[in-house]
Amino acid sequence: MKVHVIGIGLIGGSMVLDIKSLHPEATIYGIDNNESHLAEAIALGVVDQAATFDDLAEADFVIVSVPVDVALIVLPKVLDAVGENTIVFEVGSTKTPICEAIANHPKRRNFIATHPIAGTEFSGPSAAIKNLFQGKTNIICEVEKTTFKLQEKALDLFKSMGMRIRYMDPKSHDKHIAYVSHLSHISSFMLGKTVIDKEKVEQDIFDMAGSGFESTVRLAKSSPAMWTPIFKQNKKQVVKGLEEYISNLIHFKELLENDDYDAIFNEMQSVNKIKEILNGMKK
Amino acid sequence: MKVHVIGIGLIGGSMVLDIKSLHPEATIYGIDNNESHLAEAIALGVVDQAATFDDLAEADFVIVSVPVDVALIVLPKVLDAVGENTIVFEVGSTKTPICEAIANHPKRRNFIATHPIAGTEFSGPSAAIKNLFQGKTNIICEVEKTTFKLQEKALDLFKSMGMRIRYMDPKSHDKHIAYVSHLSHISSFMLGKTVIDKEKVEQDIFDMAGSGFESTVRLAKSSPAMWTPIFKQNKKQVVKGLEEYISNLIHFKELLENDDYDAIFNEMQSVNKIKEILNGMKK
**Which of A119, A123, A121 lies closest to A137 in space, CA to CA?**
A119
Q: Do B27 and B124 have their domain in common?
A: yes
B272 near A CB under 8 A = yes
CA distance A234 to A178: 7
The answer, yes or no, to whether residue B37 has pLDDT greater than 90, is: yes
Helix, strand, or coil (residue B144): helix
Query: Using an 8 Å Cβ cutoff, are B11 and B91 in contact?
Result: yes
The answer, yes or no, to whether residue B156 has pLDDT greater than 90, is: yes
Q: Do A189 and A130 have their domain in common?
A: no
Selected residue with higher pLDDT from B249 and A196: B249
Q: Do B130 and B198 have their domain in common?
A: no
Query: Of A113, A148, A169, which marks where a domain is finished?
Result: A169
| B121, closest residue in chain A (CA to CA) | A212
> Regarding beta strands A111-116 and A137-141, do their DSSP bridges make them parallel or antiparallel, or are they unpaired?
antiparallel
ipTM for this model: 0.91
Identify all chain A residues contacting B246, using CB atoms and an 8 Å cutoff.
246, 249-250, 253
Over chain B, what is the mean pLDDT? 94
A122 near B CB under 8 A = no
Asked if B214's CB is within 8 angstroms of A271's CB, the reply is no
Question: What is the average pLDDT across B212-216?
Answer: 91
Asked if B231's CB is within 8 angstroms of A265's CB, the reply is no
| 90-109 of A, contacting B, C-beta below 8 A | none
The answer, yes or no, to whether residue B283 has pLDDT greater than 70, is: no
Query: Of A154, A169, A184, which marks where a domain is finished?
Result: A169
Of B180, B250, B267, which is closest to A205 when you measure between CB atoms?
Answer: B180
Q: Do A50 and A84 have their domain in common?
A: yes
Q: Do A150 and A218 have their domain in common?
A: no
Compute the Cα dihedral for B205, B210, B215, B218 and give only its sign. positive
pLDDT, position B114: 98
Q: Do B142 and B97 have their domain in common?
A: yes
Identify all chain B residues contacting A139, using CB atoms and an 8 Å cutoff.
207-208
- Angle of helix A183-198 relative to helix B261-271, nearest 10 degrees? 60
Distance, first Cα to last Cα, chain B: 33
What b/e sequence results for A63-95 when a residue is b if at least 16 CB atoms lie within 10 Å of its CB, and e otherwise?
A: bbbbbbbbbbebbbebbebbeeebbbbbbbbbb
Q: Do A36 and A146 have their domain in common?
A: yes
Query: Of A113, A140, A169, which marks where a domain is finished?
Result: A169
pLDDT exceeding 70 applies to what percent of chain B?
A: 97
Backbone angles phi, psi at B45, to 5 degrees: 80, 10
Instruction: Return the number of other C-beta atoms located less than 10 Å from residue A2's C-beta.
Output: 16
Distance, in angstroms, between B236 CA and closest chain A CA?
Answer: 9
pLDDT, position B123: 87
Over chain A, what is the mean pLDDT? 94
Of B193, B220, B274, which is closest to A221 when you measure between CB atoms?
Answer: B274
pLDDT band (50, 70, 90) for residue B150: very high
**Which of B205, B253, B47, B181 lies closest to A235 in space, CA to CA?**
B253
Q: Do A109 and A21 have their domain in common?
A: yes
Distance, in angstroms, between A80 CA and closest chain B CA?
Answer: 30
The answer, yes or no, to whether residue A74 has pLDDT greater than 60, is: yes
What b/e sequence results for B252-282 when a residue is b if at least 16 CB atoms lie within 10 Å of its CB, and e otherwise?
A: bbebbeeeebebbbebbeebbebbebbeebe
Q: Do B69 and B193 have their domain in common?
A: no
Asked if B220's CB is within 8 angstroms of A216's CB, the reply is no
**Which of B283, B281, B221, B228 lies closest to B10 in space, CA to CA?**
B221
Q: How many domains does chain B have?
A: 2
Question: What is the average pLDDT across B100-127?
Answer: 95
pLDDT, position B72: 97
Q: Which domain range does residue A245 map to?
A: 173-281
Long-range contacts of A142-147 (CB under 8 A, 24+ apart): A142/A99, A142/A113, A142/A169, A142/A170, A143/A112, A143/A167, A145/A108, A145/A109, A145/A111, A146/A87, A146/A109, A146/A110, A146/A111, A146/A112, A147/A109, A147/A110
Sheet holding A87-90, edge to edge: A49-50, A27-31, A2-6, A61-64, A87-90, A111-116, A137-141, A164-168
Identify all chain B residues contacting A256, using CB atoms and an 8 Å cutoff.
231, 235, 238-239, 242
pLDDT, position B206: 67
Q: Do B87 and B190 have their domain in common?
A: no
pLDDT band (50, 70, 90) for residue A202: low
pLDDT exceeding 90 applies to what percent of chain A?
A: 88
pLDDT, position B276: 85
pLDDT band (50, 70, 90) for residue B120: confident
Q: Do B141 and B246 have their domain in common?
A: no
Q: Do A90 and A205 have their domain in common?
A: no
CA distance B205 to B253: 23
Question: What is the average pLDDT across B232-260?
Answer: 97
- We report the CATH number of the domain holding residue A131 as 3.40.50.720
DSSP H helical ranges for chain B: 10-22, 35-43, 68-81, 96-101, 148-160, 170-177, 183-198, 202-208, 211-217, 224-233, 235-257, 261-271, 274-281
The answer, yes or no, to whether residue B54 has pLDDT greater than 90, is: yes
pLDDT, position A200: 72
- We report the CATH number of the domain holding residue B211 as 1.10.3660.10
Q: What is the pLDDT of residues A210-255, one digit of tens each?
A: 888 999 999 999 999 999 999 999 999 999 999 999 999 999 999 9
Question: What is the average pLDDT across A53-57?
Answer: 97
Selected residue with higher pLDDT from A283 and B204: B204
pLDDT, position A204: 66
Question: What is the average pLDDT across A94-99?
Answer: 97
pLDDT band (50, 70, 90) for residue A203: low
pLDDT, position B35: 93
| 169-228 of A, contacting B, C-beta below 8 A | 176-177, 179-181, 183-199, 202, 204-222, 224-225, 227-228
Distance, in angstroms, between A141 CA and closest chain B CA?
Answer: 13
